[in-house]
């Protein structure tokens, strides 16, 4: 167990540097210094604040992109019985440290350069990934998210947010007229009803529309009432953000003439993304998992990740990999087994070696 702790120094050190979105600077500085100590050719913090390490100088490029930020909520960092506890141990410093150590242990490969990126702000608006998407032209990319060491993720759902604002004339409470709040609730029920109908034909959750109501405010002015809904959705590959907004507009258009309902998109909507399963990249990871006596499995996630940002831009074989139990993401119980972490490092070493060998 002491040996596992010593071999997990990158993971433990990175986790010890608390880095909620917007406060990644200290962790990024620590990671780039660690990369140089491990023998990386170059390590630096780029214009977006991402921690970047490059090992090798060949013209062919493979990228391993994780994220260095976490959700807020500082947790005590400690190792107990081979388990590392702390914010980010799973999501997603486990995968990022795994990338860092695996590349360092492989070393320079003739003709290739490995680029390891600790992206900032993944938990907010993916500022780091959006910047990195325009900086590199890799032949393959691995995105770091926890899905357990023996599993490969091949898809993440999209996401879209909107505000729906409803206005109705001011009336006496005894009039029986529909209030703005009642009209807003009815619209939300219609949205739910549409999604339920759509999902009835979809056996996989990955292919379903998953709406969520995350805000409800209301008030009144001199001659009008208003209510606002903040509505989000997790989108499957077959349903684009544009289709979702069009459906919301259609639903809002069914209200009575006395009710005015308007849809305003919020933030940058992100389409779903699925990775090709039949690639040398996937086969290399299958071999890496089997080499560690694991039984490989594929997963398709209901969340959204930096995969959705960089994969369309890089247009190369891509997958998502990383040790850790994603059920612990964002919870006060975040922890990762050092043994699983080191298995992930070995999987990566085997996979990357197969991908870059002559």
pTM of the model: 0.92
- Phi and psi torsions of 280, nearest 5°: -60, -30
**Residue 318 and residue 140: Cα distance in Å, rounded?**
6
Q: Would you say 50 and 131 are in contact if contact means Cβ atoms under 8 Å apart?
A: yes
Nearest to 156 by CA among 2, 299, 32, 335: 299
The token pair that represents 328 in the structure block:
């612990």
Q: Are strands 210-220 and 224-235 parallel, antiparallel or unpaired?
A: antiparallel
**Is 122 known to be catalytic?**
yes
Residues of the chain with CATH 3.30.70.360: 158-270
Q: Which fold has domain 158-270?
A: Alpha-Beta Plaits (3.30.70)
A 10 A CB-CB count for 264 gives: 12
Rg (CA), the chain: 23
* CATH code given to domain 2-156+272-356: 3.40.630.10
Q: In residues, how long is the chain?
A: 358
Q: Would you say 317 and 282 are in contact if contact means Cβ atoms under 8 Å apart?
A: yes
A 10 A CB-CB count for 169 gives: 12
68-98 pLDDT, tens digit each: 999 999 999 999 999 999 999 999 999 999 9
CA atoms within 13 A on the CB side of 187: 34
The token pair that represents 154 in the structure block:
């091949």
Residues of the chain with CATH 3.40.630.10: 2-156+272-356
Q: Would you say 228 and 220 are in contact if contact means Cβ atoms under 8 Å apart?
A: no
**Residue 328 and residue 314: Cα distance in Å, rounded?**
30
Strand ranges inside the chain, DSSP E? 42-45, 51-55, 60-67, 78-80, 83-85, 112-119, 140-144, 151-156, 158-169, 210-220, 224-235, 260-270, 273-274, 297-301, 318-321, 335-337
- Which is catalytic among the residues 24, 122, 123, 325? 122
Q: Would you say 310 and 65 are in contact if contact means Cβ atoms under 8 Å apart?
A: yes
156 forms bridges with which residues in the sheet? 273, 301
What does the DSSP 8-state code read for residue 328? G
Give the residue ranges of the chain where pLDDT is below 70: 1-2, 170-176
- Which is catalytic among the residues 69, 91, 123, 207? 69
pLDDT confidence of residue 342: 97
pLDDT confidence of residue 221: 81
pLDDT confidence of residue 109: 97
**Is 325 known to be catalytic?**
no
């Amino acid at each position: 167990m002491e040996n596992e702790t010593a071999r997990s120094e990158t993971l433990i050190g990175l986790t010890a540097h608390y880095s909620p979105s917007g406060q990644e600077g200290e962790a990024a500085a620590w990671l780039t210094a660690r990369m140089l100590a491990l023998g990386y050719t170059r390590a630096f913090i780029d214009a977006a604040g991402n921690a970047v390490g490059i090992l090798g100088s060949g013209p062919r490029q493979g990228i391993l992109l994780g994220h260095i930020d976490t959700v807020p909520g500082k947790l005590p960092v400690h190792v107990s019985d081979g388990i590392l506890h702390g914010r980010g141990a799973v999501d997603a410093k486990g995968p990022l440290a795994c990338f860092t150590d695996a590349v360092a242990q492989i070393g320079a490969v003739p003709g290739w350069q490995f680029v390891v990126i600790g992206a900032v702000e993944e938990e907010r608006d993916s500022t780091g990934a959006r910047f990195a998407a325009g900086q590199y032209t890799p032949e393959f990319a691995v995105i770091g998210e926890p899905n357990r060491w023996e599993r490969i993720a091949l898809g993440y759902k999209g996401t879209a947010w909107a505000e729906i604002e409803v206005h109705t004339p001011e009336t006496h409470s005894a009039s029986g007229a529909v209030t703005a709040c009642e009209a807003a609730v009815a619209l939300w029920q219609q949205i739910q009803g549409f999604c339920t109908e759509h999902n009835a034909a979809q056996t996989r959750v990955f292919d379903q529309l998953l709406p969520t109501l995350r805000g409800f405010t209301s008030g009144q002015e001199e001659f009008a009432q208003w209510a606002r809904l903040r509505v989000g959705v997790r989108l499957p590959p077959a349903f684009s953000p544009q289709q979702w907004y069009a459906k919301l507009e259609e639903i809002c258009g069914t209200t009575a003439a006395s009710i005015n309902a308007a849809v305003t998109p919020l933030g940058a909507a992100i389409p779903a993304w699925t990775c090709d399963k039949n690639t040398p990249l996937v086969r290399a990871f299958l071999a890496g998992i089997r080499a560690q006596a694991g039984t490989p499995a594929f997963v398709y996630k209901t969340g959204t990740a930096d995969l959705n940002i960089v994969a369309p831009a890089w247009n190369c074989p891509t997958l998502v990999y990383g040790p850790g139990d994603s059920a612990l993401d964002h919870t006060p119980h975040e922890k990762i087994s050092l043994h699983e972490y080191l298995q992930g490092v070995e999987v990566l070493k085997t996979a990357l070696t197969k991908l870059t060998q002559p």
